[in-house]
Each structure stands twice: as structure tokens, then as C-alpha cells.
């Protein structure tokens, strides 16, 4: 199953694509001129909003067409050419955004202006964010040059990294025969029930990274070096502060989250040692066994099986979600299977102008693959709930982006657990703890790794050997005795695309936030039942209309209180106790 991108455009040669590209470029120039020459008042601000809405529609469609095509085929030359043509236009839009921020920074009573217009009131949070960002605008004399240099700097490094990853073939022995497989397929073998296959895949993967470690390290050094420069130009104290600003999140919330995560590490290490014991050995878990299935697998799933299961189980929660999932399969919103040139992992990309979402997965038939589909279609449901939200207010920050996806994972797992026998319960509880360990323990290691790399990039370029050592140190600090010290993964910095984002640095803690926030939201659903659905959809709708703390407060959650995070983590402590009991019987 491959997705149908013709819902956007028939091809890169299509007249509609050419017309939209032309209009987008013209409107980007107009937006810059309008912002710079604006006389602040209600009519001018309304005109700016209307122009921005049209620009956002065109930018979403054209850029998504290029990016989604490249995600499915990293070697598509027309997509690469279109992406290269779009980058200067995106830079112009960045200039327009900066100019509008600078103008609104001088507004003496923005609230009074907003109150005079329904359109401005609907965009109040966005306008106030523009005003706040006035303190972080790059000097207008430098910004065009900086943005242009980024195209041949960070953006080029990011694109190179994606091409290296998508085209990296790994020699691995399967069933006594040597095969050359895409990196994503080899990493997927970590889910195999056969220990020999998992070990062979891990060893082949580790052995393959030195073939591309030098360009990968160059990409990472270039992107993180650029981040430090932009941080200085935008007048942020640290790159982390810049990431928190993009996430609409404050340091107090992050500190509370990190404190609770660190407190939970001994519990997760206990789980990892238990898993090693369940797999037949003592001590820390070997890295290649992190995703090993235990208990009785729930069987192999075809795409048709996954389709039927998801529609059935989520229909009991929300008929609207079930209907959307049905459309996703029937109307080809999903690109399902791994192949050469296709990106690894999974993601969902909302197409607000079309009222749909596109989902990429690397489905291999396990329950984990079905859970991944539920996760990504949770993102799609979030987008569905925002269909009637103005496009400029539908861009929600990363910490809240994981709410609906993790909620879906949790709901599916809980429903499946209710029907499961002992062996399947063991498999499912272990899967839930495995997923949580990735989002808490591994994310903590990624956070520590990235912080160390960003700090050290102040005065040095880091070699592949140094990057591997920083990664191992971060894994030891977080996984501790939960992992076998002789079987870790020094190249996690090379295989995780999140480190290479030029738009969002510290692309890690939002996942931990999302995991634990969604668990807290699910607890509210358990307490209120079907009556919670309107509140839940309202929460999703307003995700782009307030700070993280404000949105969470709408359902009575204080995310700056460490006790909220501890309560969510207690859910996994209870699951571990239940797994220990079942495993000991």
C-alpha cells in the first residue's frame, strides 16, 4: 500500500503545481512588503492575517508535496528540485514573520486592537506570540543573508543526512543467506522473535555505520554549529531556550518533567533486567533484545487485519475517529511498507487545506506495527479535530503533538489486554513497558547526548569517535545496569533523524512530555467515560491556541507540578508489578 499524493498535485509538472508555486512566491514578497510598511491598526492586521492564511495554504501544499515525495523516495530528482526552489520562498516567509514580529513589538495596546475584531480575536494567541518574538528577531540587515546561507548550510546538511539514511544498504545474513537490505528493514528485524536474527541484524547494523560515519558526523556538526549561531543572532541564552520557545513551553515545566523522569530510571532498569531474565539470561539486557517480543505474540497482522481491528476498537471510543481511520485506508492516506529509498520510522503529516493527513510507516506485521498505525492515526485524528480551526491556529507545538497519538496507543493496548490470556497479557504489558522505556529512558539519553554535543560545539568539531563516546556515556547514565555494558549502541546519533532537524532542536523531550501527558489525559477518560470525549476534542482543537501550560490547564492538569508526572509514571510502575507477578507464576 502506497499513499496517493495526487490529492495534492498530479505531478511536479502539473500546471496546478506551477501556478501555486508562482503565486506563493509572489505572495511571499507581498507579505514582506506589507509587514515592513504596516501602519498598526485593525484593518492592517486583518489584511496581514488573510494574506498569511493564503500563504500558509500554498506553502503547506507545495512543500508537503516535495517533502512527502522525498520521504517515500529519497532519490526523486523532481522532488529534490522543487524542494530546492521552495527553500528561498520559505526564507522570504521567515523574513515576513520577523518583520511582523518587529512591528507588533512596538504595539502599545495589542489586546485593545484584538478585541475590536472577530478575525483578530480568533488569532489572538498567534498575534501575541508575534509580539513576544520581537525580542528574538534577527537584525533585518543580516536576516536575508543568514537565511540564504542556511540553504547551503543546515538545510543542505539535513537533506544529505536523509539521503544517506534512506540509501544505506546493509549486508546481513538471513536464513543462511546474505542479503543487502535497507537500513530501515534491518532495524525492523529488532522485533524478530528469533534471537539469532536480532543479533545478526544488530551486528550488521553496527558494522555498517562506519561506512557513513564521517558524512553523518559532518551533518550533525554543521547543524548543531548553525544552531548555536542562530541562538546568538536571535538573542536566546541557550539552544534549549530556543527549543522551549518553539514548543510554547517554559523551563519550570521541563524541569518538573525531567525530575520525574530521572526519578523513574531505577524502575525502568528493573524492568530491563526482568526482560533479560525472561529471555534466559541474567544482568543487563543486550541492546539487540530491547524490542524482542516475549510472551505469546498476538499473531501476524496483514494491512487488512490492522484496518479492521483499528476501526472496530476505536469506533467504540469515537465513531468520528473510526470513520476517519476507514477513510485513511480506503483513500490511500498511508504509505505502508519499507523499501529502498524510503525513510525509516513513521510519521503523520497533516494536510489542513485538504482536510486529510498522510501517514508513513514501515509495517512488518507485528502488533507493534499495528500500534504504530494507531499512534500515527491518532495524529491524524488530532488534525481531524482541527479541521475547522483557522489554518494559522492549527500549528500545534511538539509537546502537545503526541497527545492524541499516545492516547490511541494506550487505548488500543488496554482494550486488547481485556481480551488477552496470561501469555498474551505478558506480551502486551512488556510491549507497553518497552515503549515507555524508549520514551522515558532512551529520550533522556538523547536529551543528555544533544545537550553535550551542543555545549561542546561552542569551540570544537566532534569526530565520529567522540560522538560515539558521548552517546555511550548518555546511555550508561540513563539505562545504567538495565543494559549490558558490552552490548550498547554507540551509533544511535547516526540513525535517529531527530538530531538533524534544523527547525526544532532538542527534538526529544516533547516525546516524553507527550507520553506522560497522554497517560494523564487517558486517566481522565477512565474516570469520566464517554462524557470525556467533548472535553478531549476541545483539548485537541485548542492545542495551537495557547501555551502548553494553558492548554493542559483546560482539562485541569498542572504540567509544572512534578507530582502530575509522578502520577503518570506510577501507571508504568503498576504495569511492571503486574508483569513481574505474571512472569513469576
Q: Residue 525 is placed in which grid cell? A: 477518560
Question: What's the pLDDT at 162?
Answer: 87
Question: What's the pLDDT at 175?
Answer: 81
Confidence of residue 121 (pLDDT cuts 50, 70, 90): very high
Q: Does residue 61 have a pLDDT over 90? A: yes
Could you tell me where the DSSP H helices lie in 209-318? Answer: 213-233, 239-246, 251-278, 303-315
* 3 state SS of 181: strand
Question: What's the pLDDT at 250?
Answer: 96
Question: What's the pLDDT at 183?
Answer: 87
pLDDT tens figures, 476-502: 999 999 999 999 999 999 988 889 999
Question: What's the pLDDT at 345?
Answer: 83
Q: Where are the beta strands (DSSP E) in 63-125?
A: none
Q: What is the DSSP letter of 438?
A: I
Element (H, E) at 419: none
When pLDDT is averaged across residues 237-241 and rounded to a whole number, the result is 97
Question: What's the pLDDT at 305?
Answer: 95
Query: Do the Cβ atoms of 118 and 124 come closer than 8 Å?
Result: no
Question: What's the pLDDT at 174?
Answer: 81
Question: What's the pLDDT at 151?
Answer: 87
The CB-based long-range contact list for 484-491 (8 Å cut-off, 24+ gap) reads 484/276, 484/283, 484/284, 484/285, 484/286, 484/287, 485/284, 487/286, 487/287, 487/288, 488/287, 489/206, 489/287, 490/206, 491/205, 491/206, 491/209, 491/213
pTM (predicted TM-score): 0.86
Could you give the CA distance from residue 42 to residue 522 in angstroms, rounded to a whole number?
A: 41
pLDDT tens figures, 347-377: 999 999 999 999 999 998 888 899 999 999 9
Could you give the CA distance from residue 122 to residue 114 in angstroms, rounded to a whole number?
A: 9
Could you tell me where the DSSP H helices lie in 107-250? Answer: 110-114, 118-122, 124-132, 143-151, 154-166, 183-188, 195-208, 213-233, 239-246
pLDDT tens figures, 300-322: 899 999 999 999 999 999 999 99
Buried b / exposed e across 421-458, counting CB within 10 Å, b at 16+?
Answer: eeebbbbbbbbbbbbbbbbbbbbbbbbbbbbbbbeebe
* 3 state SS of 157: helix
Could you give the CA distance from residue 249 to residue 252 in angstroms, rounded to a whole number?
A: 9
When pLDDT is averaged across residues 144-155 and rounded to a whole number, the result is 91
Question: Yes or no: is domain 5-152 CATH 3.40.50.1010?
Answer: no
Q: Does residue 285 have a pLDDT over 90? A: yes
pLDDT tens figures, 163-214: 898 888 899 988 888 989 888 888 888 988 899 999 999 999 999 999 999 9
Q: Which of these, 535, 271, 313, 327, lies nearest to 413 by C-alpha position? A: 313
Domain with CATH 1.20.140.70 in the chain: 5-152
Question: What's the pLDDT at 260?
Answer: 97
Instruction: Kindly give, in sequence order, each residue whose CB lies less than 8 Å from that of residue 26, ignoring residues fewer than 6 positions away.
Output: none
Amino acid at each position: 500500500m502506497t499513499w496517493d499524493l495526487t490529492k495534492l498535485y498530479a505531478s511536479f509538472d502539473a500546471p496546478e503545481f506551477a501556478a501555486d508555486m508562482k503565486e506563493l512566491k509572489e505572495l511571499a514578497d507581498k507579505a514582506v512588503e506589507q509587514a515592513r510598511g504596516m501602519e498598526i491598526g485593525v484593518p492592517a492586521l486583518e489584511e496581514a492575517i488573510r494574506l498569511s492564511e493564503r500563504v500558509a495554504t500554498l506553502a503547506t501544499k507545495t512543500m508537503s508535496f516535495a517533502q512527502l515525495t522525498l520521504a517515500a523516495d529519497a532519490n526523486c530528482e523532481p522532488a529534490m528540485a522543487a524542494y530546492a526552489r521552495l527553500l528561498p520562498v520559505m526564507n522570504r516567509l521567515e523574513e515576513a514573520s520577523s518583520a511582523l514580529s518587529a512591528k507588533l513589538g512596538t504595539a502599545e495596546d495589542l489586546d485593545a486592537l484584538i478585541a475590536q475584531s472577530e478575525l483578530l480575536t480568533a488569532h489572538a494567541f498567534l498575534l501575541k506570540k508575534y509580539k513576544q518574538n520581537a525580542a528574538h528577531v534577527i537584525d533585518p540587515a543580516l536576516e536575508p543573508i543568514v537565511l540564504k546561507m542556511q540553504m547551503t548550510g543546515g538545510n543542505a546538511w539535513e537533506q544529505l543526512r536523509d539521503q544517506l539514511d534512506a540509501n544505506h544498504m546493509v549486508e546481513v545474513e538471513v536464513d543462511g543467506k546474505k542479503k543487502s537490505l535497507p537500513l530501515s528493514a534491518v532495524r525492523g528485524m529488532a522485533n524478530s522473535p528469533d534471537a539469532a536474527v536480532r543479533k545478526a541484524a544488530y551486528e550488521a547494523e553496527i558494522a555498517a555505520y562506519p561506512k557513513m560515519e564521517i558524512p553523518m558526523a559532518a551533518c550533525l556538526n554543521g547543524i548543531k554549529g548553525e544552531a548555536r549561531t542562530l541562538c546568538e543572532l536571535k538573542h536566546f541564552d541557550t539552544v534549549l531556550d530556543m527549543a522551549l520557545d518553539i514548543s510554547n513551553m517554559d523551563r519550570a515545566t521541563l524541569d518538573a518533567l525531567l525530575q520525574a523522569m530521572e526519578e523513574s530510571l531505577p524502575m525502568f532498569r528493573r524492568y530491563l533486567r526482568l526482560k533479560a531474565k525472561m529471555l534466559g539470561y541474567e544482568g543487563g539486557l543486550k541492546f539487540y533484545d530491547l524490542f524482542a517480543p516475549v510472551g505469546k505474540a498476538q499473531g501476524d497482522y496483514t494491512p487488512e487485519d490492522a484496518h479492521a481491528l483499528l476501526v472496530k476498537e476505536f469506533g467504540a471510543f469515537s465513531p468520528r475517529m473510526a470513520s476517519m481511520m476507514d477513510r485513511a485506508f480506503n483513500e490511500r492516506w498511508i504509505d505502508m511498507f519499507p523499501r529502498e529509498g524510503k525513510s525509516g520510522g513513521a510519521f503523520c503529516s497533516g494536510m489542513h487545506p485538504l482536510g486529510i493527513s498522510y501517514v508513513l510507516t514501515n509495517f512488518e506485521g507485528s502488533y507493534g506495527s499495528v500500534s504504530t498505525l494507531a499512534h500515527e492515526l491518532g495524529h491524524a485524528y488530532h488534525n481531524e479535530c482541527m479541521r475547522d480551526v483557522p489554518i494559522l491556529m492549527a500549528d500545534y507545538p511538539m509537546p502537545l503533538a503526541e497527545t492524541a497519538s499516545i492516547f490511541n496507543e494506550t487505548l488500543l493496548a488496554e482494550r486488547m489486554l481485556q481480551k488477552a490470556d496470561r501469555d498474551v497479557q505478558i506480551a502486551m504489558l512488556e510491549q507497553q513497558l518497552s515503549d515507555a522505556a524508549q520514551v522515558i529512558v532512551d529520550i533522556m539519553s538523547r536529551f543528555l547526548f544533544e545537550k553535550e554535543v551542543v555545549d561542546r560545539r561552542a569551540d570544537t568539531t566532534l569526530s565520529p569517535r567522540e560522538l560515539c563516546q558521548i552517546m555511550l556515556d548518555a546511555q550508561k547514565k540513563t539505562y545504567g545496569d538495565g543494559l549490558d555494558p558490552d552490548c550498547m549502541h554507540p551509533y544511535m546519533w547516526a540513525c535517529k533523524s531527530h538530531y538533524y532537524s534544523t527547525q526544532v532542536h532538542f527534538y526529544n523531550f516533547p516525546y516524553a512530555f507527550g507520553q506522560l501527558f497522554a497517560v494523564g489525559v487517558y486517566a481522565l477518560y477512565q474516570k469520566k467515560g464517554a462524557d470525556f470525549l467533548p472535553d478531549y476534542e476541545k483539548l485537541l482543537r485548542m492545542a495551537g491556541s495557547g501555551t502548553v501550560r494553558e492548554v493542559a490547564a483546560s482539562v485541569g492538569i498542572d504540567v509544572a507540578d512534578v507530582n502530575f508526572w509522578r502520577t503518570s509514571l506510577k501507571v508504568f510502575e503498576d504495569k511492571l508489578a503486574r508483569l513481574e507477578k505474571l512472569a513469576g507464576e
